[in-house]
A = this chain, B = another copy of it.
Amino acid sequence: MTLTRQAVVLRQRPVGAPRAEDFELVDQTLPALADGQVLTRTIWLSIDPYMRGRLSDAKSYATPVPIGGVITGETVGEVVASADARLAVGDIVVGPNGWASHVVSEAKHLVKLDRHGPPLSTYLGVLGMPGTTAYSGMTDIGRAKAGETVVISAASGAVGSVAGQIAKRAGARVVGVAGGAEKCLFVQETLGFDECVDHRVLDLRAALEQACPNGIDVYFENVGGDLQQAVFPMLNAFGRMIMCGMVAEYNDTKLRPGPNLMRVVRNRLHIEGLIVSDKPERFAEWRALARPWVMEGSLKYREDVIEGLENAPAALMGILGGRNFGKLLVRVGADP
């Protein structure tokens, strides 16, 4: 019996913003299971800004997706055939299975989930890679203290929404930055941040100064661009800058100038890059810590769901332009 699947592959490397013709939805034949492997059908596919980097062949921390290769991505799926004792048919798993309807992968790379706990999609968002990124950033670099001012960029997004709520739990004054009134309302009313600045205002610096009268002690950087330039001169002595992403610049074909670093000397700033896969121990730690908060409803999140694997490329183009609202997911298959 031959099994076929649908997958989204990279047709050509995007120059600047990715376009539909850079991707292709194809049918592929699945290989037979080897020992240690399982066949999974995908339920949820996570769409994250980091994926833009994998489409380029510029030197980076991770191998790029090859031309014709399936795009990288985390999924939640259901095991439909197993050649490994650790996983049985019907098990629900999360792992780096990529943009495909069905995947044959090594069982050891998948984490089995509790079907009766939080919604399965949360393992791609608030309890998954983005939530763990927020947790690691605030724990390993930000270390916000009571009374400090913390600014969170992309505050309504999967990482920012969690980072800000962690800072609130630490007693900090938390100011979000998001695009548009609707997102800002969500950041203040639902997530409970103290303020939210709309980055579309005419004078971003003035808006930030009004929201942060005592300057900025911690900045969670997801965005880069003009926002970074506005925040940088407001960083206080001993300020920390968690460098998680710069999505506003991912489609650039040429590096923009950055902020002058004299302020790093004078104000003894600490600027540090964060790729959460460097800290694998943080994943289980965060799931254990945050699972009860998600179950009881005290850790808020919002999901933005796109239907159908064929729409994954458009979803990625959207997140790079800030057009999602909350954790962006593609529903690939039915719930178990």
Contact = CB atoms under 8 A, between A and B. Distances in A.
Interface of A: 53, 60-61, 221, 224, 228, 237, 243-246, 249, 255-262, 264-275, 278
Which of A249, A255, A264: most chain B Cβ within 10 A? A264
Given A53-B266, A243-B265, A258-B259, 14 more contacts: A61-B237, A221-B265, A243-B261, A246-B261, A246-B262, A246-B265, A255-B260, A259-B261, A261-B271, A264-B271, A264-B273, A269-B271, A269-B273, A270-B272
A216 B245 CA distance: 22
A225 to B, nearest CB: 11
11 contacts: A61-B266, A221-B261, A224-B261, A243-B265, A244-B265, A258-B261, A264-B271, A264-B273, A265-B273, A269-B271, A270-B271
B267 A61 contact: yes
7 closest Cβ pairs, A-B complex: A257-B257, A268-B273, A255-B260, A271-B271, A258-B258, A264-B273, A243-B264
A241 to B, nearest CB: 8
Nearest to A244: B265
A301 B257 CA distance: 37
A271 to B, nearest CB: 4
A72 to B, nearest CB: 15
A267 B243 CA distance: 10
A304 to B, nearest CB: 23
A256 B246 CA distance: 21
Contacts of A53: 266
Contacts of A275: 265-266, 268
Contact of A260 (B257, B266, B278): B257
A318 to B, nearest CB: 21
A262 B262 CA distance: 18
Nearest to A62: B266
A224 B271 CA distance: 17
Contacts of A244: 265
A265 B268 CA distance: 19
Given A61-B237, A259-B258, A268 B272 contact: yes
A244 B264 CA distance: 9
A274 B265 contact: yes
Given A61-B267, A271-B271, A278-B268, A224 B259 contact: no
Nearest to A58: B266
A297 B14 CA distance: 59
Contacts of A278: 268
Contacts of A272: 264, 268-271
Contact of A255 (B245, B255, B262, B273): B262
Contacts of A261: 221, 224, 228, 243, 246, 258-259, 271
